[in-house]
Structures are given as structure tokens and as C-alpha cells.
Amino acid sequence: MPLPALLCLCAAAAAAPFTSPGDYRLAGLFQMHGPAPRAAARPLVDGCDDAATFKSHGYCLSLAMRFAVEEINNSSTLLPNITLGYDIHDTCSEPASLHATLRALARKGGQEVEVLPTFYHYEPEAVAVIGPDSTRLALTTAAVLGVFLVPEISYEASLEMLSLKRFYPSFLRTIPSDRQQVKAIFLLLQQFGWTWVALLGSNNAYGRDGLDALHKLLTASDACVAYRGIIPVNKDASSPELHNLVKILMDVRVNVTVVFSNRQSARPFFEVVVQRNVTGMVWVGSEDWLLAQTIWQVPGIQSIGSVIGMSAEKTESTMLERFESWKTAEESAVAERAGSTGAGRGIGGSTQLDCTQRCTGCHSLTAAPDTYDAQASFNVYSAVYAVAHGLHDLLGCASGACSKGTVYPWQLLQKIRQVNFTLYKSRISFDANGDIHKGYAIAMWNWSGPSWAFDVIGTFSVNPDRLSVDRGKILWHTKDRQAPTSVCSEACQPGEMRLQRSHHRCCFSCVACPPGTFLNRSDLYSCQSCGVDEWAPARSEACFNRTVEFLSWSEPISWALLTPTVLLMLLTAGLAVLFALNASTPVVKSAGGKMCFLMLGSLACACSSLFCYFGEPTRHTCLLQLPLFAISLAVFLSCVATRAFQIVCIFKLNARWPALYAAWLRRRGPLLFIAASTAAQAVLCLAAEAASPSAPRRDYAASPGRVLLECAPSAAASRAAAAYTVLLSACCFALSYAGKDLPASYNEAKCLACSLLLHLACSAAVLCTQGVLRGREAAAARLLAALCTLGALLGGYFLPRAFVVLLRPRLNTPERFQAAIQRYARRRADA
């Protein structure tokens, strides 16, 4: 059903130059007047009210739209045979903005807004809408125009919510979304390491939403928000609320404050900042107020500190110069028409003259330090060109001539979303949310000269998001001209974790990580333990692999022990050869005859077990170390005991119990004793190994930076083998001592006793050093004790006989031995 238009347009908006016919019309929404101060009996919808405040900014933007339309109409390449028209509306208030929106939606050639069942065939008066400026007005217009899918391109509404296509499907903009601005401010804070900041925002959708988004980013990072406040609206510098806000800001002791506000709220706030003598702070500004003339003209504002923030990308000067030339010519033409029609207040000319004369005080866009008009003018200019490029594609103008057909808004909307062209070195294209692919310039106030200026010190680009800052261009307003810091707590030293001392995680004390732990940079609040094969000193940020330590073949101490081991084996082999060559001599026979070779073999086996201590321990080498040595030593000691027992029997017991020695020989007593004694030692070793197998073991407790890789013999096996060896040694010592008065050729009590005592001393030394020495030192000590034992036994038993065989052959005769036996017999008889 038809919806009648609420009211007609005001005379000024309807009269030239605020409307122009064309094949396709654009509607422009610009705030050229503020709301009338007088109370009205009805909502005010007429823009050019005598009592309303004139807004030169909105009027200049309307000129930018007209300039763009006339430039396109005069182009031979863009829409060559098409003429664009426009209807410019003054959105001085929300009712006026809604009225202008409905006027743009009116049916072509009619005065009504007809709500059809489908938008596919809806043909409104305007094919697209440029504007409005503020977020407050854009939320209403975007919701209404979205129902009919009429393209709307705003030049200043940056609220992130407008990017939600399910609510505002036809909304686009040529100013970056606040989402990008918030991300740019966040990256700027990170760039300078400012982690302790205050956030202030204006009390409107722009300030609150920007504050919420920035707070969310900061709290998800390592930064902390010391204070978050709202700047009240419609307050002047005498407002207690503003003074209290600045006082709180001073009390929280932050060096950096982000002010995400519109210029109307920012001015009284900074007036109070100047009054309360707040100096030396860094103020991070949002795009709306950073370069606004109304802010930097606040008296005394140059003392507040360093001001840095977001600014729209620089506008190409060529476009501004052409725009200024056109505007000058246009104003001259208007003045001439006004002079020819008189100064009376009639329809069209009089109002037109009145509005134009109010704008004659506008600053030149190419000369004024305030870039606000220049940047917004280019946004309007870009929006008109985006519509023109969309129409150009929709009407098939690429062939050189456009087809003048019916254009439905939804068709044009699809084409505008796809535009991609360059306009004065600026790339114009939109993403899926209708946001322009445009970043920001990072600007900083500069008070070094006689008047205010600003420097562009960096850029923020999108897709991908990247912030770059040229620190060489920054002039900090601090005593030392260095970048200020803003942290709650100074950073900890490497290897120190943070101990949080309040609900703000940026406020902490530092505690050194103890040895064996490290500080992972991904978690600064806890020290993590190193792995079992790793170590770390105190205050470490990484773990290091432990050095695996064992008695390797290449170490000097290994060569020092290998040399006597090899020499001992060669000596054993040499003695075996010597005794084999002299097996029939009395000395060899008195040493045990063929039993000597078993004894030498057992010593050789015991000596070969020492090689199991070198190199990286394995399961097999650990298994052989103790049993091979203990069993081999048991064989040798059993042979010594057997031979000592036989001599004692021959010289002392045979006369009293002759049958004893005969039975000993008849029943193969020596063989049985050696086998039984050796088997007993073997059973003890095997039983102990079965209960607790020997295996390589890593000892992590000996040293922080080392892992001792060593064989861990069974404690039971070690004790059992040692006890049994001591028992055999004591038996040998007792039997040798019993034959201390035998003939010299058969008496080895002295040498053997010394050898056995040295063996026992070495065993005792090993037991005493087990708790002191670890790793290769313990292995070296066991090796040295074994070498001393084997050397003593070999030297005490075989070397005296080898000496006689080699150097005293005259003593190695049967006659000599027989004479010694006879002297012993006579001595016994005399006794």
C-alpha cells in the first residue's frame, strides 16, 4: 500500500543549485545546518532555518558532490552519453534525515514511497544515496534503504556495526571502518610497548563501540587498561563531570591515554586538561578529532604533551586544486545571479544567496592547515565516482555508448560492490562488508614552529593489516625527546617469571626461575620444568641437553687404565708360554703343574672383564662385568687354596693321616673343590642377577648438567660376590700361613699373604668410595682396584717362580728341591 510523503522539501533544497536533472539521479545527504535552538511544535524537517547554525563543512561536502557529478557529465570515457542528476538534502536533524531518505525513495516521477511485495522492480527517484555524515543518522537511513536495497555510500559514518550485512545490506562507505581504526590504534600501542593505558570515549555509538572493541583487543594481549571512562556530551569546561574525569586520569598515573571521541566531545575535555595543567602525557587520538581545527586551537593545548593518532590517507593535491578552481568559479556565478535577481527573499534565488553567503568564510582546502574538509571532500568525490563506475558497468558503457535502460537499485548495488578503479592514486574498491580497502596515516602534532602543524610518521595498510612507523620523523614533547614509556611494572630480567600482585596482569613482581626450570616466553607467569635429559641454570630461558658421561675409549684416563690392562694380559700370556716351555722343571711342578695354566687362564679372563668398563654401557657389558671377574677370581683362589692344601697335606698331615691325602687324590679332590667353589660363586652371581638384572642406568642426581651413564649392578650380587671372594681369600691365607715353615721352594706364604692383603685392601677401598665417586670416576676406581688385585695375585704367585726359571736356573733342579726337602725333614726330626 502507498506511503505518502510526509512533507515537501524546503525551498533551499529544492531550488538550484541543490537539485539538478539527469538520466539517473543521486541523492546527497549533508548536514548544512544544525538543529534549530527554538522549540518546535512538530519535528523540524526543513534544513535552511534562519535560526539554525550554519555548517560550512556540510556545505563544502555538497559542493564536492556537485563537482564530481559535473566532472563525470563532462567526461567522454565514463558514462559517455549519460547525464547524472542530483538532489541534495540538508540533514540538519534526524527528522530531516528521515524525510530526505523517504524523498529519495519516492517513486520516479511520483511523490510517494510505494512498498511493493518484492524489491526487484522497485524504481525510486534516486538510484543511490551519498551520505549521511554521522553514525547516528546513518543507522536510520541504512536500515530504511536496506529494505529496498538502494545503494548508500557514506563518506564519514565509520561505526563497525554498519558492516553487518544482515542488518544493513545496501550500506557501503568510502571511509575506513572503525574496526580498522581500532586495529591500527592497537598496533600503534604495541609498536611503542605501551601496556599500561587509559581509554576514554565519547558518549555515543562511535565512542562506545570503539572503546569496547579496543578494550577487547587490549585485554586479549599483554596490555592492561588502567582506566576506562566516557566523556559526557553537551558539557563545557566548567562541568564537574569533566573535571572529575581528568582527576581520575591523573590519579591512575598512566602516561598514555587513548581518546576515541568525536570532536564535539573532545574539545571541552581538552580544555579541562589544559586547565588542570596535565603535561607530559601521550594522547592517542581517533581520526575524527586528531586533525580537527577546533581541537588544536584550544588555548594552551601545546603543553599537554605528545599527540599521535589516526588520520585519513592524504588527499591528492591535484584533485583539491581542481575542486578549488571549480568552487571559486561556482561561487562567482552564484554571486552574479544573486545580483541580477536582487536581494529580496523570494523562492530559489534569495535562499540560495543566503546559504551561499554563509559559506564564503570556508577555508581553502589547499591552503588551510585543517585537513578535515579536504579528506571528507575526497570521500564524497570517491563515493560519486563509485556509483558512476557501477552504472558504467551496468549500462554496458564499455562499448563506447551506454544503453539508457531502467536501472533497479539492487542491480546497481551488485555492480558498485565490484568496482575497482584508481582515483588520483587512491584505489577504490569494497570488501564483502561494503568497507573500502583503505588504511590510515599515522599523524603526530608538531608544535616546534610558530604555529600548529602535523607530521605523517607512518601508515596503516589493510589486506594484510600492517603498521609501519618511521621513528626518525617523531618529535616527542618530552624533556629528553625520547619515546615515553607506559608500563605498570618494568619488564623482568631474562629468566625471571612474573608474580602478579593485583588484578591487572601488567602489575607484577619478578622472581627468578630456579635451576632445572626455564621461562617460556609464551607464558611469563610460571617457570616450566626441563625434561629428564635436560638441565637449566637459574634464570634460564631455555633448557640444554645434559652431557651424557661415561668412561669412553678416547679419554686420557681410559688410556692410562687400558695400558696396564693390556700389559697385564701380555704378562699373563708370557708367563703361560714360559711355564709351558718349562713344564717339567721342579719350579713349575711346585707351582701346581698343569693347574698353573688354569690359574693363568682365570686371571686372563678376569683381566678381560675390565674391558667391559670402557665405552657406552650396554646390556651385555653390564651383565658381564661382575660375574666374569668374580667367577674368574674364584677359580684362581680355589686353585691357590687347593695347591696350598695339598702341600700342607704332603708335609704335615701325611705322616699322621696318610689315608687322607690318598683319598683326596683318589676321589679327585682338587678338581671337585675347584669346580664346587667356582660353581658356588656362579650360582650366587646368577641368582642375584635373576633377582635384579644389571643394566645401564642414567643417574641424573649427580650433577645438574650431566647424565651419568653407568652399569648398575645388583647390590645383592655385589655383596654376595665380595663376601664369597673374601671367604676364599681368607681360606687361601690360612692354608698359606699353615705352610709358613715349609721348605722355601714350597713356601709362598709371604708373597701370597701380601697379595691377598692387597686384594682385600683394594676391595675395601672400592666399597668406601662407592658413595663418593660417581660416573666415570667410580668406574676408574673399580678398574684400578681390579688391576691392583690381579697384578698383586699374578705378581705374588707367579713372578717369583718366573724369576727362578729365567734368572736362577741353578735353583730349578731336582737336586736342589730334594736337598731342601731333606733339610726340612731333619729339622722336623730334631724338633
Question: Rounded CA gap, 635 and 645, in Å?
Answer: 15
790-813 per-position pLDDT tens digit:
888 887 778 888 888 888 877 777
Q: What is the pLDDT of residue 53?
A: 76
What is the number of other CB atoms lying within 10 angstroms of the CB of residue 397? 20
Q: For cell 514511497, what's the residue?
A: 113
Amino acid at 587: V
Question: Rounded CA gap, 23 and 465, in Å?
Answer: 41
Question: Contact, 463 vs 427, CB < 8 A?
Answer: no
Q: What is the pLDDT of residue 746?
A: 55
Question: Residue-wise over 250-276: b if at least 16 C-beta within 10 A, else e?
Answer: eeeebbbbbbbbbbbbbbbbbbbbbee
* Backbone angles phi and psi of 256, in degrees to 5: -130, 130
SS3 content of the chain, % helix, strand, coil (to 5): 50, 15, 35
Q: Is the peptide bond before 464 cis (omega within 30 degrees of 0)?
A: yes
pLDDT band at 655 (very low <50, low <70, confident <90, very high): low
Edge-to-edge strand ranges of the sheet holding 281-285: 224-231, 196-202, 256-260, 281-285, 305-312, 440-446, 453-461, 466-469
192-248 per-position pLDDT tens digit:
999 999 999 999 989 999 999 999 999 998 889 999 999 998 888 889 999 999 999
Q: What is the pLDDT of residue 740?
A: 60
Q: What is the pLDDT of residue 343?
A: 41
Q: What is the pLDDT of residue 70?
A: 94
Q: What is the pLDDT of residue 357?
A: 38
pTM score of the predicted model: 0.66
Helix (H, G, I), strand (E, B) or coil at 88: strand
CA 80 → CA 130, 274, 424, 787, distances in Å?
A: 22, 56, 20, 108
Q: What is the pLDDT of residue 722?
A: 77
563's grid cell: 695400558
* Backbone angles phi and psi of 352, in degrees to 5: -60, -45
Mean pLDDT computed over 90-110: 81
Question: Residue-wise over 659-686: b if at least 16 C-beta within 10 A, else e?
Answer: eebeebeeeebbeebbeebbeebeebbe
420-437 per-position pLDDT tens digit:
999 988 899 999 999 999
Q: What is the pLDDT of residue 141?
A: 94
pLDDT band at 126 (very low <50, low <70, confident <90, very high): very high
pLDDT higher than 60, residue 375: yes
Question: Contact, 607 vs 569, CB < 8 A?
Answer: yes
Highest mean pLDDT (candidates 34-38, 182-186, 473-477, 645-649) = 182-186
Q: What is the DSSP string of 589-640?
A: HHHTTTHHHHHHHHHHHHHHGGGGGSSS--HHHHHHHHHHHHHHHHHHHHHH
Q: What is the pLDDT of residue 457?
A: 94
Q: Which residues contact 336 (CB under 8 A, 6 or more apart)?
A: none
Task: Report the mean per-residue pLDDT for the chain.
Answer: 81
CA 353 to chain centre: 64
Q: What is the pLDDT of residue 525?
A: 84
Question: Rounded CA gap, 117 and 328, in Å?
Answer: 48
Beta strands in 462-501 (DSSP E): 466-469, 496-500
Q: For cell 570517491, what's the residue?
A: 382
pLDDT band at 39 (very low <50, low <70, confident <90, very high): very low
Beta-sheet pairing, 527-529 with 534-535: unpaired
Mean pLDDT computed over 549-572: 87
Q: What is the pLDDT of residue 9?
A: 28
Question: Rounded CA gap, 127 and 405, in Å?
Answer: 13
pLDDT higher than 50, residue 15: no
Question: Rounded CA gap, 612 and 250, in Å?
Answer: 76
Question: Rounded CA gap, 376 and 572, in Å?
Answer: 104
Q: What is the pLDDT of residue 267?
A: 94
CA 452 → CA 282, 297, 307, 310, 444, distances in Å?
A: 17, 9, 12, 17, 11
Q: Is the peptide bond before 132 cis (omega within 30 degrees of 0)?
A: yes
Q: What is the pLDDT of residue 180?
A: 93
pLDDT band at 468 (very low <50, low <70, confident <90, very high): very high
Q: What is the pLDDT of residue 368?
A: 47
Question: Rounded CA gap, 181 and 177, in Å?
Answer: 7
Q: What is the pLDDT of residue 691?
A: 75
Question: Contact, 442 vs 314, CB < 8 A?
Answer: no
pLDDT band at 281 (very low <50, low <70, confident <90, very high): very high
CA 185 to chain centre: 21
Share of the chain above pLDDT 70, in %: 81
769-793 per-position pLDDT tens digit:
665 666 677 788 788 888 888 888 8
Question: Rounded CA gap, 256 and 483, in Å?
Answer: 11
What is the number of other CB atoms lying within 10 angstroms of the CB of residue 230? 18
Q: What is the pLDDT of residue 218?
A: 93
**Least confident span in 110-124, 439-453, 501-515:** 110-124
Mean pLDDT computed over 16-28: 84
Highest mean pLDDT (candidates 49-58, 456-465, 586-595, 761-770) = 456-465
pLDDT higher than 80, residue 364: no
519's grid cell: 621461562
C-alpha angle with apex 414: 408 to 415, nearest 5 degrees?
Answer: 90
**Closest by alpha carbon to 137, among 34, 214, 51?**
34
Highest mean pLDDT (candidates 242-251, 448-457, 582-591, 645-654) = 242-251
544-560 per-position pLDDT tens digit:
888 888 888 888 888 88
pLDDT higher than 60, residue 46: no
Q: Which residues contact 585 (CB under 8 A, 6 or more apart)?
A: 805, 812
CA 495 → CA 160, 259, 535, 537, distances in Å?
A: 42, 36, 14, 9
Question: Rounded CA gap, 689 and 619, in Å?
Answer: 12
669-701 per-position pLDDT tens digit:
778 888 888 888 888 888 877 777 777 888 777
